[in-house]
Amino acid sequence: MRLSRKSVVAASVLLLCILLVAGLACESKDRYAGTYEVQGKAEEVRLELKASGEGLWISGSQEVSFSWYIKSGEFRIHAKEGGVIVGEIQGDTIKIKIPGQKEMLFQKAP
C-alpha cells in the first residue's frame, strides 16, 4: 500500500499542529524559577522555586521541601509531608493564603 504525496503532507501538517498545541498548553516553569521573599512580615520567609518543579519553603531556620506547578492559572504547592497550598502567581508576585493566617505576598528577589 502506497501513500499519496497529499496524504503524507496532510499527516505531517496534522502532526505539527498537534505538537504546537501540546507545547503551548504546557506552561514552562523556567520563567517562574527563582527566589521569592515575603513582603510585610517581621520574620524572613522565602520560597525557592526550581525549574524542575521542586522547591523549598524557608522560614527562619526551618526548611520544608515541596513540589510545585501551575494549573488553570493557579500556583499549587504539594508538600512532601502531605497537603496542598493553592496560590496565585502574577508576574513576579505570588499571593498565598495560609489557613488561619493572613495572606502572604511573595516578591521575586532580584
Q: What is the CATH number of the domain that holds 66?
A: 2.40.128.640
pLDDT at 35: 96
What domain count does the chain have?
A: 1
Residues spanned by the domain of 53: 30-108
Q: Are 64 and 81 in contact (CB under 8 A)?
A: yes
84 lies in a domain? yes
- HSE-up (13 A, CA, CB side) for residue 51: 3
Q: How far apart are CA 36 and CA 77, in angstroms?
A: 14
Task: Give tens-digit pLDDT for 1-51.
Answer: 566 666 544 444 444 444 444 344 445 688 899 999 997 776 789 999 999
58 lies in a domain? yes
Bridge partners, 103 (sequence order):
97
60 lies in a domain? yes
**pLDDT higher than threshold 70 for residue 104:** yes
- For the residues 50-69, what does the mean pLDDT come to? 93
Kindly give, in sequence order, each residue whose CB lies less than 8 Å from that of residue 10, ignoring residues fewer than 6 positions away. Answer: none
Which pLDDT band holds residue 99 (cuts at 50, 70, 90)? confident
pTM, rounded to two decimals: 0.69
